[in-house]
Amino acid sequence: MRNQRFFAWVLGVLCVAVSPLSWAVPISHITDVYGDRHNQLIGYGVVVGLDGTGDKSQVKFTQQSIVNMVQQFGVQLQESGKPKLKNVAAVSVTATVDAHKGPGQTLDVTVASIGDAKSLRGGTLLITELRGIDGNVYAVAQGHLVVGGFRIDANDGSSVTHNTPTVARIPNGATVEVPFTQGVDEEPMVMLQLKRPNYQTALNISKAINRTFGRGVAKVINKGTVEIAAPLDSEDRSMFLSMVETLDVDIGAEPPRIVFNSRTGTVVMSQGVTVGQAIVSQGGLTVRIQENKLVSQPNSSGSINAPGQTTVIADSNINIEEVNNGAMVWPEGTQLQDIVDAINHIGASPMTLMQILQALDEVGAINANLVVI
């Protein structure tokens, strides 16, 4: 009887016309339910099939790992024997698993060299147990590595390295063996945690829920948490939360972000990032950006309905020089994109660009959050 009343109430809610929100996204895209946490897994494994770029003989634990493995298949090695395993590398294997992943579902894994291997390109990870913080095995990983970098060695001892050849990924490379699914929380209140805390976004979520389900159902606790009253029955609760997740809300204004991938050198930034007054000396580069303000004064004899309007036009000049002990100088309000374009124009490396961005962030000259991944 209780379920019938609840679903009758749900049907009534669905019939209520709700005006659409502009630039809105579903609540499920920007929040997590408190308690639905991610879990980190780690394991120790061996990569084989490398083209002579594996660990050297000085890395004893790699040799020991191979000896232990082949013994499990009935292969006995002499105690005095020291196999040369230049095609093998000892690695750490890590993964992050969602709380609701079940047995048979797959995870992406990251593989990183532990020893002195030069590159993991072309390697294959042998079956590896992945354990949680409690020491229990939750997943197993195996597969071919995808490496984003490379290293080339010449006969004279010189070498060329691009990105990081000792770190790799295996898409869907691990299989969950133990369920992580957690039961529906029986507390009367459900906490929605914003992935990017913002008071305006939290307030919009609360308003959307109250407008749909009734006043007082949701309230803002802080800029990162919205508390909602949910049915206690597990089925009713699941139905209620599924409806909450589909509600659309506007996202509050957020500060610009700059994301730098330290392995690939990729830099991604939001539009409109500006720089305050600062001087940076880096590697003999000199970048001078001057922005002149020009005033446009149209003829004031326009019609009464369309009078002339005074506007300010920015006229930017960018000069790049490469000198010893140079410094980068620009006025306040310069677009960061102009600086990045100027540095890239002369062929500076992504790491040089990153060092400049970090220096600007340290002195508070960038109106954006700098994120390094």
- Residue 333: both structure tokens together: 């309000």
H helix and E strand count, the chain: 7, 24
Average pLDDT value for residue range 297-302: 53
Q: Which residue has the higher pLDDT, 66 or 43?
A: 43
Domain ranges for the chain, please list them: 39-176, 189-250, 257-292+326-372
pTM (two decimals): 0.56
Cβ atoms 181, 35 nearer than 8 A: no
Phi then psi for residue 231, to 5 deg, are -60, 150
pLDDT at 203: 93
Q: Which residue has the higher pLDDT, 39 or 20?
A: 39
Res. 293: pLDDT tops 60: no
Pairing of strands 274-275, 278-280: unpaired
Q: By CB neighbour count within 10 A (0-12 exposed, 13-18 middle, 19+ buried), where does 63 fall?
A: buried
pLDDT at 327: 54
Q: Which residue has the higher pLDDT, 179 or 219?
A: 219
Tell me the per-residue pLDDT of 132-187, one tens digit each, with 9 for 90 and over: 998 999 999 999 999 986 666 555 555 666 678 899 999 999 999 988 766 556 67
Phi then psi for residue 130, to 5 deg, are -110, 125
d(CA 34, CA 45): 34
